[in-house]
Chains A and B, each alone.
Chain A
């Protein structure tokens, strides 16, 4: 049934994103892949658009994710076209997460004195969405040269942040946390570019992702890395749907993980259930996010938010499929693979 008052572009977007529903990988398909071998496995992969004579080689060479990303980017291009300029800007910014991943890989590789070929092998091809010249970054021989190049790119703000952290004695997780925080804060800021009617649902969707990042980071920084409350708080984002600044200010001061979990807002506490470790909390929150994304994709009044939720589901599928294939060829027991991707027993 047509929704009254929607534009032709919105109708087109809604139709396209609905038609693409079959690109999502249902849990049964993942279970079937875990149990399939030989031609059956090749057939199941083919049904997902992955042509592979030797699936094991595809997984071990790391090309599987690149193949999945190619399909994903092809859909992304189609869905980007009917968006308004603000929506397009938001989506493009969201996609920068992959380029940020590449940049982190290059920075880490340079810090760890890895060879260029090694670093290159771990990069994702994002054509035509690259904002920086990856080859030039790979040509940088040390971190300072790399940061100089980044400071002249679309990632100048992130590069400045990285330089501050990279100059410190123990930059590892701080660098990751700083870059992620900077990226998610800016992504949240991009919501203001979208149409006013789309903003509340976008804020809810992106806020729920920030909640997960903030809570998991909080638990990790406070109780695994033993950071003091002040620094932990500074490394958080604070634009969450449920976890606002005031919550975070209180939570970082609590001395133990159970006390933090007990002090969470009701909806988050319910989602976490009986988890008692950071890893278990993360897993439960991921499950909650997956349900949330599916609900948003089906029911959100904003087609733009539905589309973003769809892309996030696609992204989640890519990661799950990669994990399944890796686990499978590493010879892990199916139950463990199910568990690692939050896949119920079926």
Chain B
């Protein structure tokens, strides 16, 4: 539970032509993580074209799946495992290209429809202003007898709002005027007018085109006196809107139909890519020259036999596999698989948020889980609230298995356990006899216990750091550093000095000097020896580091007082809710009690969870857990990753 599975470094020798078969076999085993085959003479990596083809096809498939809002799990069907040839991959890529072209066309159509809807929307709101233009548009249209509009170049349309000033000035150079009559969002509706002589009109057209001018048809309904039949214009716009809505509906329906129709075909194509993926992912890491090839990688020791079986099935007697233990210098690159019981797994993702333990390093998950539950329960002890949290976990389990569910189930359980100790159920402190006491009963005791909890927590994390340093064969770091044995002795000495002083039996000066001075001088000397630069700089660095080490222990311990503070806060919030409830009538009372409990459960529950994580990460992990390990990611037939 505390150490990773033993791994083996593998070296597989085979013929170049067998590489795709080997990739498939290794992926089928699900137990092999490749690494670059670092051999200077094997400088002729194979499969580059295949890889590019796969990447293009994979990108297309991903885009198509996103277009149809499908996930790999929705596709379901799988393809019988076999090696995917270049021609099969080309065919798949071509088919995906055709499918994506039609999806892309759909998206462009949808964009145009949405633009049309927005444009109609803009015009609807602009209509009133448009109708009130004090211009005889009918005359400008040349509809009146004896009037010829050809002398006037008149354009009405929309341009980006930000550019109207510059556009007006530019049009001025071509002898035209620009008048803004409506602004909506980023769009300005404008009238452009000027003398209609050929050269100037061409200039204006060119500027308007560059400015992204969208012409708006002058409604025929404008009449000579400047009034307009707004109702008919609106009717026309509504008709456009209906058309756009209908097109929008049609496109969505089309996509739904395509989705149902294409699902099976996509499953087949995804299956092909899933089988091509291992070789595409492995090929850049393979070392090869001429007809020979070499694959390097890692596998759990227990899975080597499985790998051999799969290789035999695909390539009978055509490979040589050698294995060895990871070297001490390979701790950083050896992938890590942490064996974890089911009840710990939901806490794994929280540990992974911080990092992955290095190969050989102590896995902090068990420590994290137990301390998380202890802190959460102590800060949020309530049988009722804990039961609700645990019930939420059970519901999650029912929906999706134990994966994520164990976290709320166990946290709720811890909350219930401390609720029994505190005698608290939904904030009521008189319904349940406390097995211990309510936090409010003795806040000082709670604070003292929290401080001792912090001392225990920090001591334990320092011990874990010492163990990790010893695993790394870093003896000076384990024994002499501020976060090593010297630091721990200093810290416990400090605790002894303070507690004896608080109890009225202060230690004699020589004992204090011994308890604090000896370990303090040890880690100061260690820091001095590690520091670089001039004497002044080294003195400064050493002094600051020593101060930081001492303050880190003190502030870390005080940081745990929040555990008691939140325990008290929980009771105080409940008292506030009940006080407010008592000021209301019967119905109001119960509404306030229910609402207040929901408030406590959601808000305080979330805050407590965040505070616990803070203590774990900053006061715990940062002291002993580097988190710079490498997670084991084997080659698989899972179509999700795109090795690109």
Binding site for B on A (CB under 8 A): 116-117, 135, 139, 141-142, 144-145, 148, 160-161, 164-165, 168, 174, 178, 185, 227-231, 233-235, 238, 245, 249, 252-253
Report yes or no: A229 in contact with B173, Cβ–Cβ below 8 A.
Answer: yes
Is there an interface contact between B169 and A249, defined as CB atoms closer than 8 Å? yes
A142 touches B166 (CB 8 A): no
Residues of chain A within 8 A (CB-CB) of B63 are: 139
Question: In the bound complex, do residue B107 and residue A174 qualify as a contact, i.e. CB atoms below 8 Å apart?
Answer: no
Please tell me if the beta carbons of B203 and A145 are within 8 angstroms of each other in the complex. no
CB within 8 Å for A148 and B111 given contacts A230-B207, A231-B210, A234-B167: yes
Q: What CA separation (Å) do A235 and B210 show in the bound complex?
A: 8
Sample (6) of A-B pairs whose CB atoms are under 8 Å apart: A135-B644, A139-B59, A148-B111, A230-B173, A234-B166, A238-B166
CB <8 Å contact, B166 and A249: no
What sequence of 0s and 1s flags, for each residue 87-117 of chain B, a beta carbon within 8 Å of any chain A beta carbon?
A: 0000000000100110010011001000000
A230-B174 in contact (CB<8A): yes
Q: Which of B166, B169, B212 is within 8 Å of A161, CB to CB?
A: B212
Query: B568 in the interface, Cβ–Cβ < 8 Å?
Result: no
Contacting residues, chain B, for A234 (C-beta < 8 A): 163, 166-167, 170, 207, 210-211
CB-CB contacts of B306-323 with A at 8 A, as 1s and 0s? Answer: 000000000000000000
Contact A233 B170 (CB under 8 A): yes
Inter-chain contacts of B170 with A (CB < 8 A)? 230-231, 233-234
B35 lies within 8 A of chain A by Cβ: no
Chain B, residues 155-173, CB within 8 Å of chain A (1/0): the string is 0000010110011011111
Which residues in window 427-486 of B have CB below 8 A to A?
none
Give the distance to chain A from B56, nearest Cβ to Cβ, in Å.
Answer: 7
Interchain nearest-CB distance for A103 vs B (Å): 18
Interface size class of B (residues with CB under 8 A): 20 to 34
Contacts of A245 in B (CB 8 A): 166, 169
Which chain B residues numbered 180 to 232 have a C-beta less than 8 Å away from chain A?
Answer: 202-204, 206-207, 209-212
By DSSP majority rule, is chain B's interface helix, strand, loop, or mixed? helix
With contacts A116-B56, A144-B104 taken as known, whether A252 is within 8 angstroms of B173 at the C-beta atoms is yes
CA of A161 to CA of B162 in the docked complex: distance in angstroms? Answer: 12
* B369–chain A nearest beta-carbon distance, Å: 33
CB-based contact A230/B166 at 8 Å: no
Give chain B nearest CB distance to A343 CB in angstroms.
37
User: A228 and B210: CB pair below 8 A?
Assistant: no
- Picked from B108, B172, B206, B212, the residue with its CB within 8 Å of the CB of A228 is B206
Contact B173 A178, beta carbon cutoff 8 Å: no
A168 touches B209 (CB 8 A): yes
A145→B107 contact, CB < 8 A: yes
Indicate if the CB atoms of A145 and B167 lie closer than 8 Å. Answer: no
| Distance in angstroms between the alpha carbons of A160 and B172 in the assembled complex | 25
Whether A231 contacts B203 in the complex (CB less than 8 A), given A141-B100, A145-B104, A145-B107, comes out as yes
Q: Is B352 an interface residue (CB 8 A)?
A: no
- In the assembled complex, how far is the CB of residue A250 from the closest CB belonging to chain B, in whole angstroms? 10
Closest to A138 in B: B59
Which chain A residues border B169 with CB–CB below 8 Å? 233, 245, 249
Give the 3 A-B residue pairs with the shortest CB-CB distance, closest first.
A164-B212, A234-B170, A230-B174
Instruction: Choose among A164, A174, A231 the residue with the greatest number of B CB atoms under 10 Å from its CB.
Output: A231
Task: Report if B265 contacts A (CB, 8 A).
Answer: no
Smallest beta-carbon distance A81→chain B, Å: 20
Question: Which of chain A's residues have a CB closer than 8 A to the CB of B171?
Answer: 230
A116 to B111, CA, bound (A): 25
Q: Which of B162, B166, B203, B210 contacts A178 (CB 8 A)?
A: B210
Q: Contact partner of A165 among B162, B174, B207, B210, CB < 8 A? A: B210
Task: Report which residue of B104, B162, B167, B207 has the largest number of chain A beta carbons within 10 angstroms of its beta carbon.
Answer: B207
Q: B324 contacts the other chain (Cβ, under 8 Å)?
A: no
Q: How far is the CA of A117 from the CA of B644 in the complex (A)?
A: 12
Nearest CB of chain B from residue A58's CB, rounded to whole Å? 19
CA distance A227 to B174 in the complex (A): 12
Please tell me which one of the listed residues B59, B163, B203 contacts residue A230 in the complex, with CB atoms under 8 A apart.
Answer: B203
Q: In the complex the two chains form, is B212's CB within 8 Å of A231's CB?
A: no
Q: Does B132 contact A (CB under 8 A)?
A: no
Q: Could you tell me the distance in whole angstroms from the C-beta of B435 to the nearest C-beta in chain A?
A: 52
Shortest beta-carbon distance from A135 to chain B in Å: 8
Q: B207 to chain A: which residues have CB within 8 Å?
A: 228, 230-231, 234
* Contact between A174 and B173, CB atoms less than 8 A apart: no
- Chain B residues lying within 8 Å of A253, measured Cβ to Cβ, are 173
